[in-house]
Structure 1
Amino acid sequence: MNKDIDIAFEAQMKPIKDIAAGLNLSEEDWEPYGHYKAKLSDKLEQKLEGRSSGKIILTTSINPTPAGEGKSTVTVGLGQALNKLNKKAVIALREPSLGPTMGLKGGAAGGGYSQVVPMEEINLHFTGDIHAITSANNALSAFIDNHIHQGNELNIDPRRISWKRVVDLNDRALREVVVGLGGPVKGVPREDGFMISVASEIMAVLCLASDLQDLKERLARMVIGYTYDRKPVTVQELGYEGALTLLLKDAAKPNLVQTLENTPAIIHGGPFANIAHGCNSVKATKMAAKLGDYVVTEAGFGADLGAEKFLDIKTRAGGFEPDAVVIVATIRALKMHGGVDKKELQNENTAALMEGAANLKKHMETIEQFQVPYVIAINEFPTDTKAEIDTLTAWCNQEGAPVSLVQVHEKGGSGGLDLAEKVIAAADQKHQPLAYTYELEDSIEQKIEKIARRIYGAAGVEFSSKAEKQMRQMNNLGFNNLPICMAKTQYSLSDDPSKLGRPEDFTITVRDLYPSIGAGFLVALTGDVMTMPGLPKNPAALQMDVDASGVVKGLF
């Protein structure tokens, strides 16, 4: 089978005007960004307000492993399969970050014959949204330092500035820096640091804002630090919410592209799920639901991270509920969760598969707690044996869970027809209203405890002395009625990435807690998770190149 990039280059893409026409959009509803990309206009958002919404399908997965799960691939393939069944489907995805693209993963546009295209543009600079977020974030950093240099009218304590600079790359050397060196004309020296751009609160604000005015109001509420007498300082007090909104006005518009089979795809926003809330924008999901009978969207990593945040944070902000969930699993990954080394995954091992199925079982229980119907998608790999497929399928049937063997990587939409039919049946089920993990009125400690126990299966939570002090501060500031965004390793249900499968009797350690008031949640940092990743020993960028004709190589 050809490489992803080669398959993408062979695609028969339609001009973006044809994709827009298939959605019954007029020319004033979209703005072209070249031949195959477009921005969806604010006018379209207003025009769609009174239209009924289609069914929302959320794709999640087990805890990811280096063996791969293919959640984005299944999301794209399912959308294509629904269209093959004559259902008007629209896909809603996040924008890839250059950090993982150049680092470990190599891209996030799906794979095989289930990709969004033009994949090389989507995986690189796309329409410039993440660059706009980076510029807005760093402009705010410059405004803060200039305010202090110019007399510090707000009495900001340079030691307690919580706002960090960002860059959309993995760069561990920038985690801790010192700025303002060089004498009085160069500014006030202070400690600072960088996060990856997709971890910026501005990314979360953009993804959760309902419109441009809401975006401005959320930006105004962002807390950038504290005064010498420990009072929070907001962007509104600095007076820069208008300038930040201006920098983001085009980035706030969702992007329209297509799949290899010309299914429309709206790609917008890209917060990580391990250090942010891990979902594409509320605007993109709601717009896709207005334009199609089904919208297939995804949330980052496993159900313990992206799906929990989609269901506990994004649905509250967007005022909608999913109609069904797809839980993606691979036999390879489940064998790793069952203790098999990556080098041995090609060997048949049904015993390890069943041991690793405990991880899948926990994610099934998590979705059941939210009272949403689900279907398990076994994303097939060439090394899967008949015995392994039969074993996992029989186990799912025994557990009473609808299950489908998916071949969308190899066959595109045709490889997901059975999954599509089962998803339609699940979405048509009458089910109870969405059951949140916690109530907003719960204390901060109760919310974190409920997430840890109910979603992760933890025995309890330990708070560092710093986190306990921060909790008291959040309570005193009136921030205690906000949702919680847990920052945790994606590789394990626990906060220890080495504990695969379904660990038991573990404790979640919350080491840090900070407010994202513009986004509308509190972030709890657990374990050793970092907001600025580092590069691996052999980054994916080593394989990337472009020839004299401009043909991209090594992007996957």
Structure 2
Amino acid sequence: MKSDIEIAQEVEHTTMAPIDQIAAKMNLTADDLENYGKYKAKLTFEAIQEIKQRPQGKLVLVTSINPTPAGEGKSTVSVGLADALNRIGTKAVIALREPSLGPVMGMKGGATGGGKAQLIPMEDINLHFTGDMHALTTANDTLAALIDNHIQQGNELNIDPRRVTWKRVLDINDRSLRQVVTGLGGVTSGVPRQAGFDITVASELMAILCLAENITDLKKRIAKITIGYTYTKKPITVADLKVQGAITMLLRDALKPNLVQTLEKTPAFVHGGPFANIAHGCNSVLATKMALGLGDVAITEAGFGADLGGEKFMDIAAPNIGHTPDATVIVATIRALKYNGGVAVKDLTTENLAALEAGFGNLKKHIQNMKRYNVPVVVAINAFITDTPAEIKLLQKLCQDFGVAAINTEIWEKGSAGGEALAKAVNEALAQPADFQPLYDKTEPVTTKIEKIVQTIYGGKSVIFSAKAKKDLKTIAENDWNDLAICMAKTQYSLTDDQHVLGAPTDFSIHVREIIPKTGSGFLVVLTGNVLTMPGLPKKPAALNMDVDENGVISGLF
């Protein structure tokens, strides 16, 4: 059986279309593109503004159950669904996140789908692509350098070095950089202070890039970023440093959405990549608006499970897009549900109806959560060869009894042909009325908003705030930041803040250890449990299996 990269390379070397041909499918011309080689392009600012004025299509959000070692294949289903919609005559355009090198080199792998439902050029997208990640890293670390330089050169703003909150970033998992000391080496090397690194996709600049409407909005949001506090605990912003113009300049080209294609030549915008466990987990507002303006249906997805990316799309991204989902697709696999039902990974290929029914609780909770927003829901069963007819029949019945259609899809193996039934079910869902209801009002107290997410979305009982979190709440109140949205930072593997608790637990507490104001993004990042904003590499990182031959052909990337 061919690997994902072998399937992608075969198409790339034979039938991949020049990017201007993909653009032409959406009535775009060469003048609307800034080409990055033959098969990748960014939209010009002029094209972006024109597309915004077009009538918008329908919006489909793809989310999933909590991820497991068995795999769920959310991006595969997103890509295959768009291909299948086009196959049955519904003009679909994709909007997805850019992969981060951290998981590509670590454990998760790439983020371009799999099998016969992939984005191409696969290697380019998973590696350096059009340079957006590098631009974000450079802009973030330029701001960090400017902060330290201001302190070194007289500190006119009276910044307390102990209260600088802006971290440097790197787009790779590097646990050694979580806590560092900068400024060592004497008076000419800066003021020593404790600092640290986040992964690039956790940077507030990444979130801002994905929420900004245009250059002006980008600059305004960057100006509002809180980078630290004075000795009297007054917030200091980028505007106080007067460098918002310089930071915006470094992100000028990164703001433009990237256009690529699927194996079946469906247009796809791949732009922005905040993680959903430590950031808001959605591709850029601009990319989604481009897909809405250029297709009858826009397919987008939010990172990890519906408890993280799904909730954040509904309560953070959708208000910024100005278009709420018209339907939601929840991806699940029988293997992953059996894992949630207590089956060990090595035994997942054996039929086990009792474990499947026990693990269904996790999917049921996510269905309940997405239904709560008053948007039609469809379940996509991402098929594996080891699924048995009895297991498929049981899962479909369990979903049907809960009022949701569950469609078995064979997208990985068959591409769009394996997703026709799902495409038809999604079209049926799009014909139903949607009356979107947000989870909370942003004007509610911060603690109330957090409790609503914990109790309604996670199924928890209560929230326990650490002493540090209580101080943060006081700072938030003193600075009138109560009206910001909530961005929960939580393990993706569980509805709780303990990654080892599977299924759909109840009667648990969520532990909030810190709350970080992201005043440029417009939300509060709520750190729970032991979640980290700079991940580490696993014992055997995926990088061990990667190589490139003398002709530049890559292997081992997945």
Partner of 1:541: 543
CA distance in 2, matches of 1:465, 1:430: 45
- CA deviation map 1:247-292 (0-9, x unaligned): 0000000000000000000000000000000000000001110000
- For 2:301, the aligned partner's letter is E
- For 1:126, the aligned partner's letter is F
Partner of 2:444: 442
Partner of 2:342: 339
CA distance in 2, matches of 1:292, 1:165: 38
1:506-521 equivalent positions in 2, closer than 5 A: 506-521=508-523
Cα deviation for residue 469 of structure 1 reads: 1.0
Query: In the alignment, is the contact (CA less than 8 A) between 2:395 and 2:406 conserved in 1?
Result: no
CA distance in 1, matches of 2:472, 2:342: 38
Cα deviation for residue 106 of structure 1 reads: 1.6
Select which of 464, 479, 483 maps to 1:481: 483
Partner of 2:218: 215
TM-score (norm 1): 0.99
- For 2:294, the aligned partner's letter is L
1:108-257 equivalent positions in 2, closer than 5 A: 108-257=111-260
CA distance in 1, matches of 2:142, 2:498: 35
Query: In the alignment, is the contact (CA less than 8 A) between 1:28 and 1:43 conserved in 2?
Result: no
Residue 8 of structure 2 corresponds to residue 8 of structure 1: yes
Number of equivalent positions:
555
Cα deviation for residue 400 of structure 1 reads: 1.7
Residue 497 of structure 2 corresponds to residue 500 of structure 1: no
1:80-99 equivalent positions in 2, closer than 5 A: 80-99=83-102
- For 1:481, the aligned partner's letter is D
Partner of 1:416: 419
Deviates more, 1:278-287 or 1:382-391: 382-391
CA distance in 1, matches of 2:51, 2:22: 17
Partner of 1:22: 25
State the identity as a percent: 60
Deviates more, 1:313-322 or 1:210-219: 313-322
CA distance in 1, matches of 2:393, 2:370: 24
- For 2:251, the aligned partner's letter is L
Query: In the alignment, is the contact (CA less than 8 A) between 2:20 and 2:29 conserved in 1?
Result: no
Partner of 2:473: 471
- CA deviation map 1:217-260 (0-9, x unaligned): 00000000000000000001101100011100000000000000
Query: In the alignment, is the contact (CA less than 8 A) between 1:270 and 1:279 conserved in 2?
Result: yes
Residue 334 of structure 2 corresponds to residue 304 of structure 1: no
Residue 50 of structure 2 corresponds to residue 47 of structure 1: yes
Matched residue SS, 1:48:
helix
Cα deviation for residue 50 of structure 1 reads: 2.3
CA distance in 2, matches of 1:428, 1:520: 33
- For 1:469, the aligned partner's letter is K
- For 1:5, the aligned partner's letter is I
1:305-320 equivalent positions in 2, closer than 5 A: 305-320=308-323
CA distance in 2, matches of 1:102, 1:458: 34
- CA deviation map 1:76-131 (0-9, x unaligned): 00000000011111011000000000000121100000000000010000000011
Query: In the alignment, is the contact (CA less than 8 A) between 1:59 and 1:326 conserved in 2?
Result: yes
Deviates more, 1:205-214 or 1:23-32: 23-32
Cα deviation for residue 320 of structure 1 reads: 1.1
Cα deviation for residue 26 of structure 1 reads: 1.8
Select which of 442, 458, 463 maps to 1:456: 458
Cα deviation for residue 397 of structure 1 reads: 1.5
Matched residue SS, 1:10:
helix
- CA deviation map 1:490-521 (0-9, x unaligned): 00000000000011110001000010011110
Residue 296 of structure 2 corresponds to residue 328 of structure 1: no
Deviates more, 1:422-431 or 1:542-551: 422-431
Matched residue SS, 2:477:
helix
CA distance in 2, matches of 1:413, 1:233: 51
CA distance in 2, matches of 1:88, 1:482: 36
Query: In the alignment, is the contact (CA less than 8 A) between 2:202 and 2:274 conserved in 1?
Result: yes
Query: In the alignment, is the contact (CA less than 8 A) between 1:112 and 1:409 conserved in 2?
Result: yes
Cα deviation for residue 33 of structure 1 reads: 0.3
- For 1:254, the aligned partner's letter is P
- CA deviation map 1:319-368 (0-9, x unaligned): 11110000000000000100001111111101000000000000000011
CA distance in 1, matches of 2:327, 2:373: 11
Cα deviation for residue 384 of structure 1 reads: 0.8
Cα deviation for residue 457 of structure 1 reads: 0.2
Query: In the alignment, is the contact (CA less than 8 A) between 2:52 and 2:290 conserved in 1?
Result: no
Query: In the alignment, is the contact (CA less than 8 A) between 2:396 and 2:405 conserved in 1?
Result: no
- For 1:479, the aligned partner's letter is W
Cα deviation for residue 431 of structure 1 reads: 2.5
- CA deviation map 1:34-54 (0-9, x unaligned): 010000111011112321100
CA distance in 2, matches of 1:512, 1:402: 40
CA distance in 2, matches of 1:32, 1:260: 19
Matched residue SS, 1:245:
helix
Select which of 527, 530, 535 maps to 2:529: 527
Select which of 273, 279, 286 maps to 2:276: 273
Residue 358 of structure 2 corresponds to residue 359 of structure 1: no
Partner of 1:379: 382
Query: In the alignment, is the contact (CA less than 8 A) between 1:222 and 1:517 conserved in 2?
Result: yes
Matched residue SS, 1:219:
helix
Matched residue SS, 1:326:
strand
1:258-269 equivalent positions in 2, closer than 5 A: 258-269=261-272
Query: In the alignment, is the contact (CA less than 8 A) between 2:66 and 2:493 conserved in 1?
Result: yes
Give structure 2 stretches of 5+ with no counterpart.
Answer: none
